[in-house]
Amino acid sequence: MRAPRSQQLILALDLAGAAVAAQEGAGAAMASRLDVLGVLVIAFVAALGGGMARDVLIGQAPPRALRDWRYPTVAIVSGLAAFAFSRWVREIPQEALITLDAAALGLLAVAGAEKSLDQGLSALAAVLVGAVTGVGGGVMRDVLLDKIPAVLTRDIYASAALAGAAIMIAGRRLGLPNAWAAMLGAVCCFALRMAAVQFGWQLPRAV
Amino acid sequence: MRAPRSQQLILALDLAGAAVAAQEGAGAAMASRLDVLGVLVIAFVAALGGGMARDVLIGQAPPRALRDWRYPTVAIVSGLAAFAFSRWVREIPQEALITLDAAALGLLAVAGAEKSLDQGLSALAAVLVGAVTGVGGGVMRDVLLDKIPAVLTRDIYASAALAGAAIMIAGRRLGLPNAWAAMLGAVCCFALRMAAVQFGWQLPRAV
Amino acid sequence: MRAPRSQQLILALDLAGAAVAAQEGAGAAMASRLDVLGVLVIAFVAALGGGMARDVLIGQAPPRALRDWRYPTVAIVSGLAAFAFSRWVREIPQEALITLDAAALGLLAVAGAEKSLDQGLSALAAVLVGAVTGVGGGVMRDVLLDKIPAVLTRDIYASAALAGAAIMIAGRRLGLPNAWAAMLGAVCCFALRMAAVQFGWQLPRAV
């Protein structure tokens, strides 16, 4: 029973994260004046790039995003919706986007760590792969749009992904059911990212 | 008999596409004033990057470009030739380069979709992997040269790759022999790309 | 006995190269004013990116950097040290950094070629994978920091990695013990790179 339920949990986290990341990616692509297919490509990469990198890294090629039709469908429908309603999307307040982004970060990071553990990686490797899953799509989006990836310059971003993955794993070790541990990790990542934005928390820079 | 013939078809498409993409890559690298090895590296990446990404994605690592000496040889010889004859290469009219590029796009996209089907991926995934194969090398070339990938800004480019891969698969489903379906897909991709350039077709942008 | 000793040799080369590359990556990240986590991410990518690309390419996913805790530990400790002592790191003369970098290049290129041979790749493929291992982390570092990769513009850089890997393989073919062949390749790569810097050797550019 365990494997299928764990699979379902990863699937739900992955798809929810992908839908949100696709919105964000489409928004950034429209801001760069790309045409409709460019917008879809960026939405696809932003939504599924982190998970595809994860699957290739943990030796699960072809990645699930290519084996399960729901993944590309979610990314493309979400990207198309952002394009079709671009007039409205542009009026979404910045705060709402940051909130969505923090939610996607938590969902994807926890899903990535979850799947790495399922594949028998160590806790340290699972935390690292979780962070790659959380931030990977955004990094590819920014590299394609020829910018320094936001994750490297935004305060408390990758660190929130690392923390969320670590908390999920700690929760499991402490005996929480898998779904609860995942939810706890995602919520902590989300809360940490939102608090950092709200209170202007920053990590130290070198003097 | 079928598997070997399919293999031969993929090999021929791949090598022809790689030779053309290497020319293009070398041209872009010389325009950026790289030295001879930089030119070869970019030619190699432009020629084989898409196919290597394809093989890693579909779980066929080490990629064929590393297992079969003909791949690197084609890329390197083609890049060296572009360097040696750079005086002439620079006088090749822009139209000829666009034509070659459209041919490489069609060949690589169809080869990528072909191989994905052989590996048991679904038609949707094969179309996506075909497009990645077609445009992947060019994306890596532009990322390395620190530009926004042309595929995201050029009109009807990735869309032509998607269409070529889809037409190839549709042709197979309709009972065409594999080689005919591949040729049909590659020709349609080529024609669509050339027509888009000729008539200035554009995909819509968000308002 | 042979396999384990070869493994140990690759491990030692890999870890020494990673420690040096992490220093370099951290230095470049601090120069771009990233915060402490951004510095660690770049150090991690610079140190382990080439080796992870190598393992994915040769079909050894999950890469060793995720399966063996010593890899991330070396990268993170080395990056943290560079951050903590940034005041001193900044005063390290440029010559020392170039020397360290040349050493890392030789170590990583030879380790990459070594491992590719162990996996049964051909000599040509092993040389190419060795060069990818040597320069891959630096390429990812520069792409993330939104620069043209230094490897494409620095004189005699990737060529030194190719030469080192080729010399290692030639040494093996000529009957040298593996450890000696590896050392010879790494030293030749290092010497070639240092001589190129010292004497301003350049590869030709297209006219």
Three-state secondary structure string covering chain C = CHHHHHHHHHHHHHHHHHHHHHHHHHHHHHHCCCEHHHHHHHHHHHHHHHHHHHHHHCCCCCCHHHHCCHHHHHHHHHHHHHHHCHHHHCCCCHHHHHHHHHHHHHHHHHHHHHHHHHCCCCHHHHHHHHHHHHHHHHHHHHHHCCCCCHHHHCCCCHHHHHHHHHHHHHHHHCCCCHHHHHHHHHHHHHHHHHHHHHHCCCCCECC
Separation CA B146–CA B25 (nearest Å): 14
Exposure b/e, C133-171, CB count within 10 A at least 16 = b: bbbbbbbbbbbbbeebbebbebbbbbbbbbbbbbbbbeb
Assess if residue A8 is contained within a domain: yes
Of residues C59, C152, C202, nearest to B61 (C-beta): C59
pLDDT value of residue C2: 46
Q: Which of B29-43, B148-162, C121-135 is modeled with the greatest confidence?
A: C121-135
CB contact under 8 A, B204 and A86: no
Q: Identify the closest residue of chain A to B159 by CA–CA distance.
A: A37
pLDDT value of residue A74: 92
Query: Which range has the worst mean pLDDT, A149-163, B2-16, B28-42, C129-143?
Result: B2-16
pLDDT value of residue A2: 46
Which tens digits make up the pLDDT trace of B43-84? 999 999 988 989 988 888 788 888 888 999 999 999 999 888
Q: Identify the closest residue of chain A to C66 by CA–CA distance.
A: A125
Separation CA B201–CA B99 (nearest Å): 16
The residue segments making up the domain with residue B175 are 2-199
Q: Which residues of A touch C145 (CB under 8 A)?
A: 148, 152
- Residues of chain C with pLDDT below 50 are 1-3
Assess if residue B40 is contained within a domain: yes
Q: Which of A3-7, A141-145, C157-161, C186-190 is modeled with the greatest confidence?
A: C186-190
- pLDDT, average across residues A32-41: 85
Separation CA B166–CA B172 (nearest Å): 10
pLDDT value of residue B203: 77
Assess if residue C205 is contained within a domain: no
Q: Identify the closest residue of chain B to A30 by CA–CA distance.
A: B206
Q: Pick from C41, C57, C91, C92 the residue to mutate for testing the A interface (most A CBs within 10 Å).
A: C41
Number of domains in chain A: 1
Q: Which of A119-133, A149-163, B138-152, C149-163 is modeled with the greatest confidence?
A: A119-133
Assess if residue A204 is contained within a domain: no
pLDDT value of residue B1: 38
Cis peptide before C62, with omega less than 30 degrees from 0? yes
Closest CA of chain B from C182, distance in Å: 21
Q: Identify the closest residue of chain C to A149 by CA–CA distance.
A: C144
C-alpha closest to that of C194 among C163, C152, C169? C163
pLDDT value of residue C29: 87
Q: pTM for the complete prediction?
A: 0.82
Assess if residue B204 is contained within a domain: no
Percent of chain B with pLDDT over 70: 95
pLDDT value of residue C5: 65
- pLDDT, average across residues B168-173: 93
Q: How confident is residue B113, by pLDDT bands cut at 50, 70 and 90?
A: very high
Separation CA A201–CA C35 (nearest Å): 12
Closest CA of chain C from A88, distance in Å: 31
CB contact under 8 A, A144 and B147: no
Q: Hey, which chains touch A, using 3+ CB pairs under 8 Å? A: B, C
pLDDT value of residue C4: 60
User: Is residue B3 predicted with pLDDT exceeding 60?
Assistant: no
CB contact under 8 A, A30 and B206: yes
Assess if residue A36 is contained within a domain: yes
Assess if residue B87 is contained within a domain: yes
User: Is residue A184 predicted with pLDDT exceeding 90?
Assistant: yes
Any B CB within 8 A of C56 CB: yes
Please count the residue pairs, one from chain B and one from chain C, whose beta carbons lie less than 8 angstroms apart.
75
User: Is residue A13 predicted with pLDDT exceeding 80?
Assistant: no
Assess if residue B205 is contained within a domain: no
Of residues C67, C87, C144, nearest to A149 (C-beta): C144
